[in-house]
Amino acid sequence: MVDASGALIAQVWAVRHGVETGASLRFAALGEGMRGAGAPNRLVELASRASADEVRHAAHCADILRSRHAEVPSPETRLLFFGPRDLGPEQRLTYEVVAQSCISETESMATLVTLLDAARDEHLKTVLQELARDEVQHARLGWAYLGWAKDRLDLSFLTPFLPAMATAATGDDLFQRGPPEADDPALLLGGVVPKSERRRIYLETLDSVVIPGFEEFRIDTAPLRRWADEKRQALVALES
């Protein structure tokens, strides 16, 4: 593996370290929000457990960074919320749960499934299995929450926000051209999905899991479908 790919692998694990530590703070707050909203204890407990899981996941990311002789970044200490401030309390909570669990954690599961299929290193495989086992619950939390919230809240307010959530989850550059090493197949052995594969997985998961999931709750997904179509068209140009 060339050095550029090794550096990219370390960079991705460093970003994941931040994602995990930030998610830990968010899940703790979301659990308390659910408790305040009167959600079932099972969901509150799941959120609390997810917060603890994410701390453990961050420790795995740090171990992998150290094993690659890469710097471990400082943990995320800011509790960040992404939804518009002018939403009502229940809407704001719902926005954050959907962005975290229904989109981010659900899409992350697809990444983990792909990495698990490709993993050869026993330690990496063990870590990925542990993460996947936990992330299933983190994603289910969001869909379970929607099942509870749908009888208490008009979920149609989510529709115009879904493309922005989908955009944010991909970061700045997933649908932009990357350096050659970003598509190095050897990245998979280091626990990183090559960029072109990542784009395909992201859109496929949106089509086969996230969008049908929202439609289970009668949430209009037309703007999200349009967003996905635009990205697919952009990909044709990008990969031609």
Q: Which is nearer to other proteins, 3 or 114 (CB)?
A: 114
C-beta pairs of 210-213 under 8 Å, 24+ apart in sequence: 210/102, 210/103, 210/106, 210/107, 210/166, 213/102, 213/106, 213/143
The amino acid sitting at 143 is W
Q: Which is nearer to other proteins, 5 or 131 (CB)?
A: 131
CA 193/CA 221 separation, integer angstroms: 27
- Taking CB under 8 A as the binding criterion, the range among 3-11, 21-29, 67-75, 182-190 that sits at the site for other proteins is 21-29
Q: Which two tokens stand for residue 177?
A: 């051209």
CB atoms < 10 A from the CB of 110, how many? 20
Is 173 one of the binding residues for other proteins (CB under 8 A)? no
Nearest approach, Cβ of 120 to other proteins (angstroms)? 18
CA 57/CA 24 separation, integer angstroms: 10
User: Site for other proteins (CB under 8 A): which residue of 21, 24, 106, 221?
Assistant: 106
Is 29 one of the binding residues for other proteins (CB under 8 A)? yes
Residue ranges in 133-162 that form contacts with other proteins under rule CB under 8 A: 135-136, 139-148, 161
CA 206/CA 25 separation, integer angstroms: 26
User: Site for other proteins (CB under 8 A): which residue of 24, 51, 104, 221?
Assistant: 104
Nearest approach, Cβ of 235 to other proteins (angstroms)? 17
User: Under the phi-then-psi rule, with left for phi > 0, alpha for psi from -120 to 50, and beta for the rest, what region is 132?
Assistant: alpha
CA 161/CA 115 separation, integer angstroms: 29
With CB under 8 A as the rule, give the number of residues binding other proteins.
78
User: Site for other proteins (CB under 8 A): which residue of 2, 4, 7, 80?
Assistant: 80
- Taking CB under 8 A as the binding criterion, the range among 1-9, 63-71, 111-119, 221-229 that sits at the site for other proteins is 111-119
- Note whether 44 and 31 are within 8 A (CB): yes
Residue ranges in 179-238 that form contacts with other proteins under rule CB under 8 A: 201-202, 204-205, 208-209, 212-213, 216
Q: What is the dihedral of CA 105, 111, 113, 118, to 10 degrees?
A: -160
Q: Which is nearer to other proteins, 156 or 240 (CB)?
A: 156
Is 23 one of the binding residues for other proteins (CB under 8 A)? yes
CA 137/CA 160 separation, integer angstroms: 26
Nearest approach, Cβ of 151 to other proteins (angstroms)? 11
